[in-house]
Chain A
Amino acid sequence: MLLEYTSLITLIALTAILAFSFYAVLIAGQLSLAQLGLASLAAFTSSLVVPAEPLFGFIPPLAVGIVFGMSVGVIAAFILGLPVIRLRGVFLAIATLAFGEMVRIFLINQTWTNGAQGMGFPKLVGIEIAWIALVVVAYWFWRLSGSRMGRAFAAIREDELAATTMGIDVARYRMASFVIAGAVAGLYGVLLAYFSRFADPNEFSFTAAVDGLVTAVVGGVTLFVGPILGSVFLSVLPELQRVLGVNAGWIRPTISGVLLLVVILFLPGGLSGLIPRRKSAKRLITDPAVRPDLPPLASPGTELVSLQGLGKSYGGVHAVRSVDLTVNAGEILGLIGPNGAGKTTLVNMVTGLTPPSTGTGVVLGTSLTSGTKAHRLAQAGIARTFQQIKLFNRLSALENVMVGGYRITRDTMLRRLLFLPSARRFEREAVAMASAQLIRVGLGDKAATAAGDLSYGDQRRLEIARALASHPSLLVLDEPAAGMNHVEAGLLSELIRSLATDGIAVLVIEHNVRMMLATCDRIMVLNFGEVIAAGKPADIARDPNVLEAYLGSSGSDADADAASELAAADLAAVTAESPREHPDVPDGTPARGEAAGPGDQANPSTATEPEDNR
Chain B
Amino acid sequence: MQLFLDGIFLGSIYALFAIGFTLVFGILDRLNLAHAAVFTAGALVGIEIVTRFGVPIWLLIPIVLIVGAVLGILIERIAFRPLAGRHDAHFAGLISSIAFGAILLSLLQALYGADTRRFPPGAFPRARLEILGATVSLLQVIILVISVTLMVVLTWLVAKSKLGRGMRTIAENPHAAAVLGLNVGRISSTTFALSSALGAVAGVLFTLNVNAASLGIGHAVELKALAVIVVGGMGSLPGALVGGLILGLAEVLAVNYIGSSWRDMVAFGLLFLILILRPQGLFGARKTREV
Contacts and interface: CB of A to CB of B under 8 A. Distances in A.
- The reply, when asked whether chain A contacts chain B directly with Cβ atoms under 8 A, is yes
A569 B29 CA distance: 19
B107 to A, nearest CB: 7
Interface in A80-139: 83-84, 87, 89-91, 93-95, 97-99, 101-102, 105-106, 108-109
Interface string B248-291: 00000000000001101100110110011001100010111111
Contacts of A441: none
Contact of B96 (A254, A265, A582): A265
Contacts of A584: 87-92, 291
A149 B275 CA distance: 29
Contacts of A217: 95
A206 B222 CA distance: 11
Given A579-B279, A580-B291, A214 B95 contact: yes
A591 interface: yes
B35 to A, nearest CB: 14
Nearest to A95: B275
A525 B94 CA distance: 48
Contacts of B265: 102, 105-106
Contact of B268 (A105, A261, A585, A591): A105
B109 to A, nearest CB: 4
A242 interface: no
A217 B223 CA distance: 22
Contact of A109 (B90, B98, B262, B289): B262
Interface residues of A, number: 65
B279 A261 contact: no
Interface in B45-68: none
A264 B92 contact: yes
Contacts of B79: 261
A186 interface: no
A359 interface: no
B181 to A, nearest CB: 15
A244 interface: no
A342 interface: no
Q: How large is the interface on B (under 10, 10 to 19, 20 to 34, 35 or more residues)?
A: 35 or more
A268 interface: yes
Contact of B107 (A210, A250, A581): A250
A101 B268 contact: yes
A438 to B, nearest CB: 24
Nearest to A102: B268
A249 B91 contact: no
A613 B85 contact: yes
Nearest to A591: B87
B29 to A, nearest CB: 8
A326 interface: no
A593 B85 CA distance: 9
A249 B109 contact: yes
B146 interface: no
B103 A579 contact: no
A265 B88 contact: no
Interface in B207-234: 219, 223, 226-227, 230, 234
Contacts of B88: 268, 584-589
Interface of B: 29, 31, 78-79, 82-92, 94-96, 98-100, 102-103, 105-107, 109-110, 114, 174-175, 178, 219, 223, 226-227, 230, 234, 261-262, 264-265, 268-269, 271-272, 275-276, 279-280, 284, 286-291
Interface of A: 31, 83-84, 87, 89-91, 93-95, 97-99, 101-102, 105-106, 108-109, 206-207, 210, 213-214, 217, 248-254, 256-258, 260-261, 264-265, 268, 393, 569, 572, 578-593, 595, 597-598, 612-614
Given A253-B102, A261-B103, A613-B85, 6 more contacts: A251-B106, A257-B106, A261-B100, A265-B96, A578-B280, A588-B87
21 contacts: A87-B275, A95-B276, A98-B227, A98-B268, A102-B272, A109-B262, A214-B95, A217-B95, A257-B102, A261-B79, A268-B86, A579-B279, A581-B287, A581-B291, A584-B92, A586-B88, A586-B92, A591-B85, A592-B289, A597-B290, A612-B175
